[in-house]
Amino acid sequence: MSTDPTTSPSPRTVLVTGGNRGIGLAIARSFAAAGDNVVVTSRSGSAPEGLEAVQADVTDAASVDQAFTEVEERFGPVEVLVANAGITQDQLLLRMSEEDFTSVIDTNLTGAFRVLKRASKGMLRMKRGRVILISSVVGLYGSPGQINYASSKAGLVGMARSLTRELGSRNITANVVAPGYIDTEMTQQLSAELQDQYKKAIPAGRFAAPEEVAEVVRWLSSDAASYISGAVIPVDGGLGMGH
Ligand code: NDP
C-alpha cells in the first residue's frame, strides 16, 4: 500500500449517481475499465450490464444513506464520488412554476449536497477523497428557459469551492466538470431544429459522446490531478470559452 498521501491504493471504491444511463453510465464504465470497484445508483435499483448498482433517489436523504451503507459493506468507503444525477424541467420564467424551480434544485443541487455530505464521512476517515460534481456549460453561460437548471448547475461551483476550502487540507479534492451538449437522452429531447442551432454555436460544430466527458472525470480523480481542486473544467467543444 502506498504511503504517499497523494496516491491511492487500487482498486478504489467509486460511486456514480445516475450511473445507469447517459453520461453517468459512460463515467462508470470508464472507471470499471481502469479496474476500480464501481457502483452506480439507479432509481429502479437495476444495474447496467457488467456493473454493480444500488437503489437510490438523490431527493431522499434516507435512500442516499442506505445506498452508501450498502456500498460500504460491499467495497469499503467511497473514495471517488461522482455526483451526476440530474434533470431538466425547462420553461420560460413567466411560465415557470415554483415547483418547476424547486424540483430541479432539489435533484441537481440539494441532491449533490446529500450525497456529498454522506460521502464526506468516509473520506475524512480515510483521509482521502475525490469529488466530481457534474455541472453544465449552462451554469455559467446561462440559457433561456433554464433558470432553474442554470441556477442548480451554478450552485455546484460554489459547493465544490466551499468543500475545497473546508476539506482541502485532508487530501480531499472537489472539482466541477461542465459539459456542453452531449449526445444522451437529455439532449435527444431537443427538436432537430434546436439541435442544429446549437451545433452552429459550438466551435467544435458537434455534440460530444458521453465517453468524452467520462475520460475527463476519470483523469480528475486520478493521482495525476492530485493538486487540482475547486476548478471548473469545461468539456464543451469551446462553447463556453473556458467558463
Ligand atoms: P440522462 O437524462 O440521460 O440521465 C440522467 C440520470 O440522472 C439518470 O440516470 C437518472 O436516473 C438520474 N436521476 C435523475 N433524477 C434522479 C434522482 N432524483 N435520483 C437519482 N437519480 C436521478 O442525463 P445525462 O446523462 O445527459 O446527464 C447526466 C448529468 O450531466 C446531469 O446532471 C446533466 O444535467 C448533466 N449534463 C448533461 C448534458 C447533456 O448535454 N446531456 C450537458 C451538461 C450537463 P433514472 O434513469 O432513474 O431517471
pLDDT in tens, 186-206: 899 889 999 999 999 999 999
Distance CA 165, CA 160 (A): 9
Helix axes 147-167, 98-105, angle to 10 degrees: 30
| Cα 84 to averaged position of ligand 1 atoms, centre (Å) | 6
Looking at ligand 1, which residue's alpha carbon is closest to its atom 19?
57
In the chain, the number of structural domains is 1
Work out which ligand 1 atom sits closest to the CA atom of 44: 47
Q: What is the mean pLDDT of the chain?
A: 96
Residue 184 has pLDDT above 60, yes or no: yes
Looking at ligand 1, which residue's alpha carbon is closest to its atom 34?
86
Q: Which domain holds residue 105?
A: 13-183+210-230
Distance CA 14, CA 31 (A): 8
81 in a domain, yes or no? yes
Identify the pLDDT of residue 243: 82
Query: How many other C-beta atoms are found inside a 10 Å radius of the C-beta of residue 63?
Result: 17
Distance CA 162, CA 20 (A): 29
Q: Grid coordinates in use for 17?
A: 449517481
Side chain identity at 24, as an amino acid letter?
G
Out of 149, 181, 198, 227, pick the active-site residue: 149
Residue 57 has pLDDT above 90, yes or no: yes
Residue 48 has pLDDT above 50, yes or no: yes
Residue 21 CB less than 6 A away from ligand 1: yes
Counting residues of the chain whose pLDDT is more than 90, the rounded percentage is 93
ipTM: 0.99
Query: Bridge partners of 208?
Result: 182
CATH of the domain at 37: 3.40.50.720
200 in a domain, yes or no? no
Identify the pLDDT of residue 10: 82
Looking at ligand 1, which residue's alpha carbon is closest to its atom 10?
18
Residue 190 CB less than 6 A away from ligand 1: no
195 in a domain, yes or no? no
Residue 84 CB less than 6 A away from ligand 1: yes
85 in a domain, yes or no? yes
Tell me the whole-structure pTM to 2 decimals: 0.97
Residue 8 has pLDDT above 80, yes or no: no
156 in a domain, yes or no? yes
| Cα 2 to averaged position of ligand 1 atoms, centre (Å) | 35
Distance CA 215, CA 213 (A): 6
Query: What's the full length of the chain, in residues?
Result: 243
Residue 187 CB less than 6 A away from ligand 1: yes
21 in a domain, yes or no? yes
Query: Bridge partners of 81?
Result: 15, 131
Residue 148 CB less than 6 A away from ligand 1: no
Q: What ranges make up the beta strands (E) of the chain?
A: 13-16, 37-42, 52-55, 80-83, 129-134, 172-179, 232-235
Q: What would the pLDDT profile of 125-176 be if each residue is shown by its tens digit?
A: 999 999 999 999 999 999 999 999 999 999 999 999 999 999 999 999 999 9
- Taking alpha carbons only, the member of 233, 234, 239 closest to residue 203 is 239
Residue 234 CB less than 6 A away from ligand 1: no
Q: What would the pLDDT profile of 90-126 be if each residue is shown by its tens digit?
A: 999 999 999 999 999 999 999 999 999 999 999 999 9
77 in a domain, yes or no? yes
Identify the pLDDT of residue 5: 66
- Contact predicate 117/101, CB 8 Å: no
| Cα 5 to averaged position of ligand 1 atoms, centre (Å) | 33
Looking at ligand 1, which residue's alpha carbon is closest to its atom 41?
182
Identify the pLDDT of residue 1: 44
Residue 143 CB less than 6 A away from ligand 1: no
Residue 2 has pLDDT above 70, yes or no: no
| Cα 141 to averaged position of ligand 1 atoms, centre (Å) | 19
3-state secondary structure of 189: coil
- 149 flagged as catalytic: yes
Identify the pLDDT of residue 126: 96
27 in a domain, yes or no? yes
